[in-house]
Structure formats: C-alpha cells, structure tokens
Amino acid sequence: MTYLERLLPTSRRIAYIGMLTSLAILLRIIKHMIVGPIQFINFPAAFTIIGSCLLGPITGFIIGFSSYFISDIMIGLPGLWTFVNGFLMGFFGMINGLIWGRNKNYNKIGIAISSYIILFSFDILSSWILYILIGFDWIYALIISIIGLFLPVAGGFLYAVGPITDFITVLLIISIIHIIRKNNIFRIL
C-alpha cells in the first residue's frame, strides 16, 4: 500500500480516482473538440501519472485504462488502439505507482524524468504493438514507431510530435503535483 492509500478512507480514495479519471476524460474531449486529433498534450497519461504518484499502482491502472477507454468511446474513435492504449497506460500507471506511490516526499526532478521516460516508452510501445497487430514485421514496426516520434510517417505531418507532447505533458504533471502537495488538496482526514 502507498502512503496515501494507507491513510485515506476507501470512499475518499474512490472519489479521488473518479475525479482524476473524469478530469482526464473531460480535458481530452475538450482538446479533441478544439484542435481535433493534433497532439500537443496527453491528458489521460498526465492524470494517470498524477494519480499513481499520489495514490499508488492500483489507482494508476484504473485511471490509465478507464480514461483511454471511456474517452475513445466518447470521442467516437474506439478501435483496437483503445485496448492497446488503455492497457499500456494502465501498466505504466502501475509501474509509476510502484516507484513513487510509497513515498510521501516527492522529488520534482525525479518525477519529471521518470514521467518523460514513461511517456516516451508509452509512445513507442503503443505504436509498435499496433503496427504488429495490423501485420507489420516487428523490426519494421519498431523502426517506424521510433522514427514516427520525430518525423512524419504513415500520413502524419508534425515533426518531433512525440518529444514535444511528452515535454508539455511532464510540465503539466509536475505543476499539478506541486499544487496538490503545496495546498494539501488530497487531505487525509
């Protein structure tokens, strides 16, 4: 159990999970309504990492899976990628919760670095798995997945979309965690 999981009542923990999941879904839908599928921030990943840092690995999995799954359905884009992205982000939320969820003291630089690595890994793995599932050779799929983060491939038009999106998402994660910790928003009693 994480630091906050041990101290929070179950009903409050469930409310926090629902709040973080709802924010991830709502902000992703609003972003999609305003700019469409153009990537510049990953709200489900941001709130997955925030939730897993503050509330632990199980929370990370729940937020990661449900925010991608529900928002894809609400946007009208469900498909094979819905399950791949949901399970992958849930997995990375669990890993992040295991790393940071046991600690009541947070290191902003450590969280920023680990969040960037998680987001970058998620980008590569989600594309790689999808390319393999649609029939590409696994080496070719991996090459396209890595190159696609920096150069437009497979019909894309943005350059360095992966690193820029991940950097902006990390800034959001660090800012929100700082505000939550500074203002003691996740109160224990």
| The pLDDT value given to residue 51 | 93
| The pLDDT value given to residue 137 | 94
Q: Residues 97, 99, 105, 106: what is their CA dihedral angle, to the nearest 10 degrees? A: -90
Nearest to 43 by CA among 58, 22, 14, 15: 22
| The pLDDT value given to residue 45 | 96
| Under 8 Å between Cβ of 57 and 89 | no
pLDDT along the chain (189 residues), means of 10: 62 91 96 88 96 91 96 89 94 93 76 95 94 92 87 72 92 92 69
Nearest to 45 by CA among 179, 180, 176, 169: 169
Whole-model pTM?
A: 0.89
Q: How far apart are CA 119 and CA 143, in angstroms?
A: 18
